[in-house]
Structure formats: C-alpha cells, structure tokens
Chains A and B, each alone.
Chain A
Amino acid sequence: MSGKTLYDKLWDAHLVKQRDDGSALIYIDRQLLHEVTSPQAFEGLRLANRKPWRVDANLATTDHNVPTTGRERGVDGIEDPVSKIQVLTLGSNCEEFGIVEYGMTDKRQGIVHVIGPEQGATLPGMTIVCGDSHTSTHGAFGALAHGIGTSEVEHVLATQCLVQKKSKNMKVEVNGTLNPGVTAKDVILAIIGKIGTAGGTGYAIEFAGSAIRSLSMEGRMTVCNMTIEAGARAGMVAVDDTTIEYVRGRPLAPKGDQWEQAVQAWKTLQSDADAVFDKVVTLDAASIQPQVSWGTSPEMVTNVGGRVPDPAKEADPIKREGIERALKYMGLKPNTPITEIRLDRVFIGSCTNARIEDLREAAAVVKGKTVASSLKQAMVVPGSGLVKAQAEAEGLDKIFLAAGLEWREPGCSMCLAMNADKLGDGEHCASTSNRNFEGRQGFGGRTHLVNPAMAAAAAIHGHFVDIAAADTAAV
C-alpha cells in the first residue's frame, strides 16, 4: 500500500465518522470568527436554542468593516451605521456565548488570518475553519484549513464538526532558487497563471519543493493564502524547523512538557515518500519573474516585463471573450507594456501581504524616496495591531511616512473596500491583496495584484517597474 499524503494524515486524524453515503464527519480544532459571516450563524443558534459545542475552540476578531483611522475612538469611530451594527453584533454575540474576541481597541486585533498564526491560535496538525475563503492561509503550518459558509459556521459552533467529502490530492512542486526580487506572491501568482482559477477545484493542494521549503512562514502563508484563487479550498505546507521555530513562544502555543510532546507529533506532518498524488504540477523557481495581474481574475497575470495580451491571438472563443471583457473593464489596450500602465493608488496590506516581512520589503524600496506626484494615494495597512507595533519599533512607519505613504490602523481595508478605503471609478491600483475581481476594491476600480516590493516601487514611480532594475533607475 502506498504512503499517505499530508492531507490524508490530517484528514484521518480528524475523522469522527465515515458515513455510508460517502460523506464524513470531520472534527474541527479551531474556528476563527469575524463580523461579516457570523451574525446569521449566531442567530441560527439562538433560533434553534443551541449552545456552542466547545467555546474555547473559537476565536473572534473584527477586521472587514473597521476603519483604518481614528482607532482610539473604538466602535464610535465607524461612520457607516450599517458597518457599526455588524461590528457591535459580533461583540454582543461573543459576549452572549462566551467567545474570546479581540475587539477594535485590543492591540491583538487584526485580519483574522494574520492574528491566528501570530497568537499561536493556529498550530500544526489542526483543522481550522473560518467563514472566509482565505482561511487556506493557515495551511502553511501543516494544518488543514479552509473557508466555509455561514451555515457551516453555525454547524461548527453547534457540533464542532463539519460534514465533508474528502478532496483529491494535488502536489504543486516548485524547485530551484528564486531570482532576486521574486517573492512568495510571485510564486503563487505564477502557479495560478499556470493552472488557472479552477485548476485546483476539488483538490487539497500541498505546496512542496525546495523553493517552497526555503520560504519563511510569512512567505508560505502568502502562498497558501491564495490557494483559493487557484480553486482549491485548502493549501498546505509540511512541517519543518521553520514552522516549529515560528510557533515557539507564541502566546497560545503549547508550553513546557506539552511543547515537547506537540513538537514530536508535528514532526510527522509530512507526506510519506511513497505517497501518491492524484495530480502533480511542477514549476521551475528560476523561471518565475515578478508578476502583475492585468485583468479581472487572478489567473490573468504576466511578468512585469510582459505586455497586456491581445485577445485576437486567443483561439478559444470563451477565453477570448473573457480577455476582451477584462480589458474593457480595466481600460487597457492589447499589447500595452505592463510598465506603461499608469496608476492612481497603491495599497499595501491584506491577509496576503501585510505581515511584518512584507512591510519590511516595501519599506526597503521606498526608503529615502518620494511617492510619485501623479498618485492620488499610497497607503500601508498593517495586518494586525502587533504587526503595526513591531513595524513602528523598527521605524518602518517613519520610512513610509517620510516617503509620502499613509500609515493606517490594521484591518482588511482596501482589499475589499467594505470600509471607507476604496478606489474611485476607473482608478488603477497596485495592490498586494489577492483578488482583482470587478469592483472588488471599489465600484469601477481596477486592481493589479503584485508583491509588496513591486507595489512600493510602483508608488515611487507612478507605474510598474521591474524592481530588479528599479534600483538603478533614476527616480
């Protein structure tokens, strides 16, 4: 018999019951909650007169709706009354059911996928769910983590289980050494560009290979974060020393004897050498260039040195129409060099790229330089209160401010523009977030997905630049 994949191991370790009809009950170790996808779940519990199965498995924070200014005013700082009700509702639900919440004025507050790992609420070997598709982020820890809908949030609250059907196994192997200036973000964008936004549908993806192993935990989180953009609900990376060192000493990480015991268990969280995957995709790290998305789907990406595609050259009529529609929305002409796309705003933030390492990379690029006068705005939104504090301790805030970027309070912000931070109609934005869908960052807004250093360089130049070349370019 062949060995098990990491996914098989995680699945087997959480299998409560295999049912005859092919579905299974899977035990959930951790549920993360936020204000947008939880109110109807709590309401459902109340209507059915149910209690949470295990209160301590849940951790809540408010991130999607919160303003990125005026944090000292707490909930009163939310201008939009509808947003305010939602944030208050999370607070009252958590209080009613006894769930720990990092509220708006808690220094641990932040984007749900940033705070879980930061606190050690995300641990290797766990099953982790959240009413948010980017829950795949937590798979970076050798955990089985994926997004769920609100009915399932309620299901997990009430039963600590999910009804699941096992996915197929896919391995995405990236071997070799990444070129200077090429980051985890470029790796995952290149993977999505290769397999497409539906390429991973029905699979759990394990990211492997020497280039993945060489990534920091921040980088692995960036890769796993965007697994959902490749169509797979869950992405994961095997546990190694990098994982264990990151977890060590986190506030909610195991301590003392339990730590030793946990590390022993975590060390088994790799695919067996003879494990069989249903599908294997390989990429050569050296072939990956910094990526920029030009369209309205994350698979619509190309190298920074490339050009906007020409639909006339696409043979498949459905694809051709997709490109035409995307170019119309994006206001781009076929064959335009990527570096000639004029930008209006720059957004550095989101659960993809708002951890400390991302901010360091961006700060290194803008240090001693000035944001292009053609830009309306360039903003940096740290992923959590603790990331913000760390960045300030390192003086990164001063670097950003001196260069003319705005330094904001933590939250999702312009990643999805549910708060006041948004693009205007027709504006182009270099964004370190994960989705370039129509209207995602504001009605009529045009998003270009890039890595943090690329976004920072774009802020300085007012257009995209190949960052390897940017060092030598005159500003």
Chain B
Amino acid sequence: MRAFTQHQGLVAPLDRSNVDTDMIIPKQFLKSIKRTGFGPNLFDELRYLDEGQPGRDNSQRPLNPDFVLNQPRYQGASVLLARSNFGCGSSREHAPWALEDFGFRVIIAPSFADIFYNNSFKNGLLPLVLDEKIVDQLFQRVEANPGYQLTVDLEQQVVLTPEGDSFPFEVDNFRRHCLLNGLDDIGVTLEDADNISAFEAKRRQDAPWLFEPLS
C-alpha cells in the first residue's frame, strides 16, 4: 500500500449528503477483475450525460457541465470535500479504488459509512472526519476562492488551511500506523499466527461442528 504522511492539494466540493457507493462507481464497472482503471468512471452517472459501459472510450462521452469535477477550476483536485454519511451503501472496495485512481488522496466529511471508511484506509486514501460546522466553513471558502488548497498532516493529525487555521482530526492508531508506513496489514496479522492457531485449536475443541468439511 502507498504510504501517506502529508498531502497538500486542490479541494473539490461535492455538496450533497448520503453519497452512496452506487453513485461513486456504478455496478456495471464492478465486473472488472482488476483493482485499477476505475478512475475514468468515478461518479459516472453524475459526471456524464449518457450511460457508461466498461471498455467505452470516455473521452467521446458528453460531460455534465454542472457536475463539480467537470468544472475547470477543480481539475487536478486531490482533496474531496463532502457531506455527511459519505460512502453509504455497498461494501464495494471499487469505490475507494475509483476515488484513488481518479487522483484523490483525502476525503473530508462530517461522517462516513463504516465499511467505506474502513476500505479507504486499505488503499492509501485518507477519510477524515471534521465537525459539520468546520466542513460548512470549508465549503464556503472553497467556493469563494478558486485554487483553494488544504494540507493534511497525518503525522500531526491536523488539517492546515491557507488562512492559517489548524483543524485537528481523530484517527485510530492502528490505521494511522499502517497508512503512515504503507504497511501490508495481512503481514502484520500473520505476526500473530501462533495466537491464531492456538485460538483455533481451542475453538475446534469447544465447537467442533464449525470445523466439519463443506461439500
């Protein structure tokens, strides 16, 4: 996994709550057996005026000029500012894959759906919770100031604004540690292989029916 320590980038505001994973990456693109290549279809139904299909040349498709990521001032954005319950819906990891593939490294919102939140960390994408009032304020500033950038420091756990604010944020130690070091968490878990085996042996004794072969 790509490590994440500090990031500075252009902010794009996505002003709607309950953005679901179907919206982030529609189902027809989930047929891929790869982890990459989802960026061109991020927010497909919002971004284009027609229906997207896997394998189509997206450069030929009509863009929705009203959609925020299509506006010239937000080209190259790497920080997504969003509203509450971002990433609700399915467990598809294709959602963070698509956001990451598009170029986002950070998503700031007042709240995230659990599974999406979890999936993001596994992909070097930092979902970051700030208070609703601060998020409101950031929406106003982003919209008022073309080229508005934020700096996110995961080591210090702060968001720094061009105005000189420094907004602290919370993140679990384990997730922070993995992200800062770009760790493969399967490798970390396997350091406990003996503990897992011991637990399993006891469980096999207590509940042998859980260890019957399937057919």
> A residues bordering B, Cβ < 8 Å?
16-17, 19, 21-23, 25, 27, 29-30, 36-37, 39-40, 43, 48, 50, 53-54, 56, 59, 64-65, 80, 82-83, 85-86, 89, 100, 121, 123, 125-126, 131-133, 135, 146-152, 154-155, 158-161, 163, 165, 197-198, 201-202, 228, 231-233, 251-254, 258-259, 261-262, 265, 297, 318, 321-322, 325, 416-418, 425, 435, 437-440, 443-444
Contact = CB atoms under 8 A, between A and B. Distances in A.
Interface stretch (B67-75, B155-163, B170-178): B170-178
B45 A439 contact: yes
Contacts of A152: 118-119, 122
Nearest to B207: A265
A132 B91 contact: yes
Interface footprint category on B: 35 or more
Interface string B65-93: 00000000000000000011100111111
A25 B195 contact: yes
A197 B122 CA distance: 24
A151 B178 CA distance: 14
A105 to B, nearest CB: 17
Contacts of A21: 172-174, 177
A344 B96 CA distance: 34
Given A82-B32, A82-B55, A231-B113, 12 more contacts: A29-B203, A39-B33, A85-B31, A85-B33, A133-B115, A147-B91, A148-B115, A151-B119, A163-B185, A197-B85, A418-B31, A437-B23
Interface of B: 16-18, 20, 22-23, 26-28, 30-35, 45, 51, 54-55, 83-85, 88-93, 96, 111, 113-115, 118-119, 122-123, 172-175, 177, 184-186, 188-190, 192-193, 195-196, 199-200, 203, 206-215
A28 to B, nearest CB: 10
Contact of A165 (B83, B172, B177, B210): B172
A459 B27 CA distance: 26
A102 to B, nearest CB: 10
11 contacts: A36-B92, A82-B54, A133-B90, A149-B115, A151-B119, A160-B196, A161-B189, A198-B88, A251-B215, A262-B209, A437-B22
B172 A154 contact: no
Contacts of A83: 31
Contact of A151 (B33, B123, B210): B123
Contacts, number: 207
Closest A-B pairs by Cβ, 4 of them: A254-B209, A149-B119, A21-B173, A39-B33
Nearest to A196: B85
A232 B115 CA distance: 9
A22 B172 contact: yes
- Chain A contact surface mostly: loop
Among A155, A198, A262, max chain B CB count under 10 A is at: A198
Contacts of B184: 48
Contact of B200 (A149, A155, A160): A160
Contacts of A437: 20, 22-23, 89
Contacts of A146: 115
Given A123-B209, A231-B85, A16 B196 contact: yes
B196 A27 contact: yes
B174 A163 contact: yes
B107 to A, nearest CB: 15
A135 B91 CA distance: 10
Contacts of B91: 37, 131-133, 135, 147-149
Contacts of A197: 18, 85, 88
Nearest to B208: A258
Contacts of A80: 31
Contact of A100 (B111, B185, B215): B215
A7 B20 CA distance: 27
A277 B203 CA distance: 28
B186 A154 contact: yes
Contact of B209 (A85, A132, A135, A261): A261
B192 A417 contact: no
Nearest to B92: A37
Contact of A48 (B32, B186, B193, B199): B186
B93 A149 contact: yes
A161 B84 contact: no
